[in-house]
Amino acid sequence: MATTLTEKQIEGFHRDGFTVVPDFVDRDTCVGLRERAVGLVDEWEPGDERTVFTTDEQERHSNREFLSSGGRIWCFFEDGALDEAGELTRPKELAINKIGHAQHDLDPVFEAFSYTDDLAGVAADIGLADALALQSMYIFKQPGIGGEVACHQDSTFLYTDPLSVTGFWFALEDATIENGCLWAAPGGHTAPLRQLFKRVGDDSDGTVFEQLDSTPLPTPPEDLVPLEVPAGTLVVLDGRLPHWSDVNRSDRSRHAYTLHCISAAAEYPDWNWLQRPKDLPLRRLDRSDR
């Protein structure tokens, strides 16, 4: 498989826990993914249970819709998009926090984008030659109400033994400090994993955090650096890297697509919150299992 990243980018990933790849996605593809995401929201009907996604109250919001979303496409509302009666305070297309968590396997547009030789090459370049696509998220970061994502480590939420989760974050619109870009702690991936986020029982029983290490996570924003990037940029994130994004205080959205991958050789415990149905097995990025 051909090398996709430069030596500098590979070295940066191992040193800092992240690397930035400009112009990985062309403009037309960015537009196409944004249009498809809006289409998925258009087609989606929330029903009686309208799930709000926040990171500050993860345990409270781990309901059946959230815990069963590993094998389907579901939309999660932004905090502040619903009134006390559960009714929308704005148009549906401006009220969604994210789409998750299996559109990379269940939607043809996102599937075609997610499984490519170029992305498999990036994964191989950083040492994940056997990458399995585990979960995907389309994040809207809505104007004015796009919520803060608390400082966290992805391996807390998608744990493998040994640790292997890697995030591939694609900017589909320009990401700036004003509209809630990513911030990261260079070298923070060398510190311990602080917590595990565990499923309790079945889809109706919820989740708990288990403390592993009492070392505080970096304090945003002073302990972090902003990753302001233009549309089309790929940011690769080590699963132990502390990262954060602020509230979107601007009048512009900050659309992004994230694909999380794990090593095929690693164990993925059945207490992870995200579980896939048996009829939807994980697939390799390099298409070797098709």
Which CATH architecture best describes the domain 7-284? Sandwich (2.60)
| Span of 1-5, 130-134, 198-202, 284-288 with lowest mean pLDDT | 1-5
This prediction has a pTM of: 0.92
Mapped to the 3 state alphabet, what secondary structure does the chain carry? CCCCCCHHHHHHHHHHCEEEECCCCCHHHHHHHHHHHHHHHHHCCCCCCCCEECCCCCCCCCCHHHHCHHHCEEEEEECCCECCCCCECCCHHHCEEEEEECHHHHCHHHHHHHCCHHHHHHHHHCCCCCEEEEEEEEECCCCCCCCCEEEECHHHHCCCECCCCEEEEEECCCECCCCCCEEECCCHHHCCCCEEEEECCCCCCCEEEEECCCCCCCCCCCCCEEECECCCCEEEEECCCCEEECCCCCCCCCCEEEEEEEECCCECCCCECCCCCCCCCCEECCCCCC
Domain residue ranges in the chain: 7-284
Question: pLDDT, tens digit, for every residue of 151-192?
Answer: 999 999 999 999 999 999 999 999 999 999 999 999 999 999
Please report the pLDDT score of residue 204 as a whole number: 60
Question: pLDDT, tens digit, for every residue of 244-271?
Answer: 999 999 999 999 999 999 999 999 999 9
Residue 138 has pLDDT above 50, yes or no: yes
Please report the pLDDT score of residue 60 as a whole number: 42
Question: pLDDT, tens digit, for every residue of 5-60?
Answer: 999 999 999 999 999 999 999 999 999 999 999 999 999 987 655 555 454 544 34
